[in-house]
């Protein structure tokens, strides 16, 4: 398998019968396991008004995870910048970088991370995404050295050069990341359609910057690993049900796995959910290793962000353990990950 670092995208899943507090404690436990297993990053994402995701206060969750670990990079995958003032984000992540120096990443997205009604409740301009490039540049300025006559400073934040990432599920983010010379992460774990075009645009249009000399791309993939293929396929019925429920207009926590997914969803729901979950690897150690190898070879990505949202926390931890065992050279790719250790 090509040697690439592996990282964790943690949805802080709230499962049926559990609470947000349980989910956040589980996130810290997973991060500690990921650190021990050699994963490079542990990212959480900003979502609002979602009954299955506990990471709405993303900077707070990052602080919780960073405080309970010692070496793994921790960050946002990502902060939805239209919901926030760049100054507030600079101060929040400047604080995190001051507390946990050299370990904080700030991934930025331009979607609200929620539904339109909730986006309005966040009290931000619903058209703010149109100013996304300007606000990213403003964040860069706030994290950079203080300039003569600069009236507004992020304290803490100024001069800390917190590494920024651009996140995306379309070609827009790829082009912006390339223009600004920033690392790029594609959300192929739920938005597979533009993956290859976005990666091509990013690599072809990349302009070196003070943060990054050459393009560095990461892509998301769902991985459900277990001791047997059958057990892994059963675990996978949790996200399959979750997507089917969304198409039915039903929210709710992540459901427990079931024995027969075919009896749960309609053919239309199956087609829709399967399309969203295109980039998923499900199975035992060897199955997962082969699937991940194909993904890395096809995409040529420099890093893989792994998403695993099971109903049972122990099964989630075990899945990441099996993946680490199956791809030990990838997890241990020190030289490759040092390429972007600050980016």
Q: What is the pLDDT of residue 124?
A: 61
Half-sphere exposure of 156 (CA within 13 A, CB side): 13
Per-residue pLDDT at 332 exceeds 60: no
**CATH classification at residue 278:** 3.20.20.30
Residue 322 counted as domain residue: yes
Q: What is the pLDDT of residue 251?
A: 83
* Cβ contact 52:251 at 8 Å: yes
Q: What is the pLDDT of residue 331?
A: 52
**169-176, Cβ contacts within 8 angstroms, sequence gap of 24 or more:** 169/194, 170/194, 170/198, 171/197, 171/198, 171/201, 172/110, 173/109, 173/110, 173/198, 174/198, 174/199, 174/201, 174/202, 174/205, 175/201, 175/202, 175/205, 176/132, 176/133, 176/136
Residue 134 counted as domain residue: yes
Alpha carbon distance 58, 24 (integer Å)? 11
Kindly write down the DSSP assignment for every residue of 3-39, as one continuous string.
---EEEEE--BPBTT--HHHHHHHHHHHHHHHHHHT-
Q: What is the pLDDT of residue 127?
A: 54
- What does the pLDDT look like over 245-291, one tens digit per residue? 999 998 899 999 999 999 999 999 999 999 999 999 999 999 999 99
Mean pLDDT for 57-67 is: 98
Angle at 13 between CA 113 and CA 263, to 5 degrees: 100
Name the band, by pLDDT with cuts 50, 70 and 90, for residue 336.
very low
Per-residue pLDDT at 151 exceeds 60: yes
Per-residue pLDDT at 134 exceeds 60: yes
- What does the pLDDT look like over 172-230, one tens digit per residue? 999 999 999 999 999 999 999 999 999 999 999 999 999 999 999 999 999 999 999 99
Name the band, by pLDDT with cuts 50, 70 and 90, for residue 3.
confident
Per-residue pLDDT at 335 exceeds 50: no
Name the band, by pLDDT with cuts 50, 70 and 90, for residue 123.
low
Strands (E), the chain: 6-10, 41-44, 73-80, 104-109, 164-168, 184-186, 217-225, 280-283, 303-307
Token pair 């949202």 is found at: 309
SS3 state of residue 342: coil
Sign, Cα dihedral of 5, 193, 279, 45: positive
**Domain with 275 in it:** 6-338
Burial of 264 (0-12, 13-18, 19+ CB in 10 A): middle
Name the band, by pLDDT with cuts 50, 70 and 90, for residue 328.
confident
Alpha carbon distance 224, 233 (integer Å)? 8
Query: Model pTM greater than 0.85?
Result: yes
Which of 110-119, 227-236, 246-255 has the weakest average pLDDT?
Answer: 110-119
Alpha carbon distance 236, 238 (integer Å)? 5
Cα Rg of the chain, angstroms: 19
Q: In what helix (H) or strand (E) does residue 57 lie, and over which residues does it extend?
A: none
Report the chain's mean pLDDT, rounded to a whole number: 92
SS3 state of residue 198: helix
Per-residue pLDDT at 90 exceeds 70: yes
149: alpha, beta or left? (left if phi > 0; alpha if psi -120 to 50): left
Residue 1 counted as domain residue: no
Residue 343 counted as domain residue: no
Mean pLDDT for 287-316 is: 97
Domain count, the chain: 1
Q: What is the pLDDT of residue 260?
A: 96
300: alpha, beta or left? (left if phi > 0; alpha if psi -120 to 50): left
Per cent of the chain over pLDDT 70 is 91
Structure token digits, residue 236:
């996978």
- What does the pLDDT look like over 316-326, one tens digit per residue? 999 999 999 99
Name the band, by pLDDT with cuts 50, 70 and 90, for residue 122.
confident
Mean pLDDT for 231-254 is: 95
Q: In what helix (H) or strand (E) does residue 182 lie, and over which residues does it extend?
A: none
């Amino acid at each position: 398998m090509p040697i690439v670092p592996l990282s964790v995208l943690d949805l802080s899943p709230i499962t049926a019968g559990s609470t947000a507090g349980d989910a956040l404690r589980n996130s810290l436990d997973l991060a500690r396991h990921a650190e021990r297993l050699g994963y490079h990053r542990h990212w959480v994402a900003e979502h609002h008004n979602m009954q299955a995701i506990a990471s709405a206060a993303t900077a707070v969750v990052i602080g919780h995870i960073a405080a309970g670990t010692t070496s793994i990079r921790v960050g946002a995958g990502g902060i939805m910048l239209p919901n926030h003032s760049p100054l507030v984000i600079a101060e929040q992540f400047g604080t995190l970088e001051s507390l946990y120096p050299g370990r904080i990443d700030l991934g930025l997205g331009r979607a609200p991370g929620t539904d339109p009604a909730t986006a309005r409740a966040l009290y931000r301009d619903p058209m703010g995404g149109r100013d996304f490039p300007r606000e990213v540049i403003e964040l860069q300025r706030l994290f950079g050295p203080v300039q003569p006559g600069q009236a507004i400073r992020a304290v803490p934040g100024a001069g800390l050069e917190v590494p920024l990432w651009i996140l995306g599920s379309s070609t827009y983010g790829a082009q912006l990341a390339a223009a600004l010379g920033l690392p790029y992460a594609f959300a192929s774990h739920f938005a597979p359609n533009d993956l290859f075009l976005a990666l091509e645009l990013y690599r072809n249009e990349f302009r070196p910057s003070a943060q990054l000399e050459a393009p560095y791309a990461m892509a998301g993939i769902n991985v459900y690993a277990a001791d047997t293929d059958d057990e892994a396929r059963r675990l996978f019925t949790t996200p399959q049900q979750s997507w089917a429920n969304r198409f039915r207009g039903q929210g709710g926590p992540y459901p427990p796995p079931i024995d027969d997914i075919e009896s749960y969803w309609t053919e239309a729901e199956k087609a829709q959910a399967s399309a969203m979950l295109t980039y998923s690897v499900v199975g035992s150690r060897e199955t997962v290793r082969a699937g991940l190898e194909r993904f890395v070879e096809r995409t040529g990505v420099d890093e893989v962000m792994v998403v695993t949202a099971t109903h049972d926390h122990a099964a989630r931890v075990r899945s990441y353990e099996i993946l680490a065992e199956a791809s030990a050279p990838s997890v241990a790719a020190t030289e490759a990950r040092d390429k972007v250790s600050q980016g």
